[in-house]
Amino acid sequence: MNHRPRKRFGQNFLHDPGIIQRIVHAIDPQQDDNLVEIGPGRGAITTELLPLAHHMHVVELDRNLIEPLAHLCASLGELEIHNRDALKFDFNHLALPGHPLRVVGNLPYNISTPLLFHLLNQSGRILDMHFMLQKEVVDRMAAAPGGKVYGRLSVMLQARADVTPLFHIGSGAFNPPPKVDSAFVRLQPCDPPPYRIDDWDIFSKLVRQAFSQRRKTLRNSLGKILSTEAIEVTGIDPGARAEQLSVEDFANLANRVLSVNRLSHE
């Protein structure tokens, strides 16, 4: 397929056969899988997955890629192409009873974080996700408390899914080569989530607030949300910083916010 990568779509097309086979092996597609690929591009992964799954969906924003992709895959299986923006796409309607989605993709770096949040909001219909992402993003996704890369993305993803970095991908595997290295990662949504979170909106706002001023202690960064005494009730040190807290700590703080709010309205 002859298509010049378009910068405004953040296109870096995978072409390394060895990496493509490692990706297919990690996904391990089965015939009855409900596969959906985000950003199939020139079809490097699509053409390997489709013969194994026999049927799959792809979501592609660049309309110039639609006809060549359909032609390329015509004899490989049943391919349903959705010419849509993945950030606005309702993935829920692709899931079938007993057949949750398996989502794969080489995600553009410029939309990777909002797209991950978009998908997690629909995670009840998703079995697993396999993505190529900027290595720095994958490091943040899987980070443990206490490190510099541990932050909002780490907490929000790990509150809903198991995050497993699988392998590194050098820039030479893509055309054009990006200026940064990539990594392949697996996310498996947890049902139920690993920690009790009574209100996801409150949880999200609290985590955002805590990391927006990550060098401040909790008593200062969360002062408008929780009093020092309310933080202490959870067993968490108000003098700690956001990066020192576990995902479970954030869940407990968010549940405490909800409890305080309810008491104030009684």
Q: What is the pLDDT of residues 88-97, one digit of tens each?
A: 999 999 998 8
Q: According to the model, what pLDDT value does residue 6 have?
A: 44
- Give the mean model confidence (pLDDT) for residues 133-155: 94
Which SS3 state, helix, strand or coil, does residue 212 take?
Answer: helix
Mean pLDDT (the chain) is 90
- Judge whether residue 244 has pLDDT over 90: yes
User: 12 pLDDT exceeds 70?
Assistant: no
Residue 29 has pLDDT above 90, yes or no: yes
Q: Give the least confident one: 58-67, 149-158, 255-264.
A: 255-264
| Closest to 118 (Cα-Cα) out of 153, 86, 142, 160 | 86
Q: How far apart are CA 209 and CA 222, in angstroms?
A: 7
pLDDT digits (tens, 9 = 90+) for 67-93: 999 999 999 999 999 999 999 999 999
Please state the rounded mean pLDDT for residues 209-224. Answer: 91
188, containing H or E segment: strand 182-189
List, in order of start, the domains of the chain with CATH numbers: 7-189 (3.40.50.150), 200-264 (1.10.8.100)
So what's the pLDDT on residue 249? Answer: 97
The answer to whether residue 5 scores a pLDDT higher than 70 is no
Do residues 240 and 220 lie in contact, with contact meaning Cβ atoms separated by under 8 Å?
no
- Residue identified by tokens 């949300």 is 225
Q: Does pLDDT of 7 surpass 50?
A: no
Specify whether the CB–CB gap between 224 and 258 falls below 8 A.
no
Which residue is associated with the tokens 């978009």?
118
pLDDT grade for 42, boundaries at 50, 70 and 90: confident
- How many other CB atoms are found less than 10 A from the CB of residue 172? 12
d(CA 46, CA 176): 19
Side-chain-side CA neighbours of residue 11 (13 Å): 19
Spatial separation of the C-alpha atoms in residues 195 and 247, rounded to whole Å: 8
- pLDDT confidence of residue 14: 80
Residue 35: phi and psi, rounded to 5, are: -90, 140
Calpha distance 137→214 (Å, rounded) = 18
- Is 265 a residue whose pLDDT tops 80? no
Report the pLDDT averaged over residues 51-64: 94
Q: What Å distances lie between residue 58 and 34, 42, 71, 112, 224, CA to CA?
A: 11, 12, 14, 17, 44
Instruction: Tell me the per-residue pLDDT of 97-138, one tens digit each, with 9 for 90 and over.
Output: 889 999 999 888 788 999 999 998 888 899 999 999 999 999
Q: Which residues pair with 36 in a beta bridge?
A: 57, 103
pLDDT of residue 174: 80
**CA quadruple 41, 44, 45, 47: dihedral positive or negative?**
positive
**Residue-level pLDDT at 35:** 97
Angle at 93 between CA 207 and CA 125, to 5 degrees: 50
The owner of tokens 């104030």 is: 264
Give me Rg for the CA atoms of the chain.
21
**Contact assessment for residue 58 and residue 80, using Cβ atoms and an 8 Å cutoff:** yes
Q: How does residue 3 score in pLDDT terms, banded at 50, 70 and 90?
A: very low
Tell me which of 34-38, 88-92, 101-105, 173-177 is least confident: 173-177
Residues near 62 by beta carbon (within 8 Å), at least 6 away in sequence? 6, 9, 11
pLDDT for 248:
97
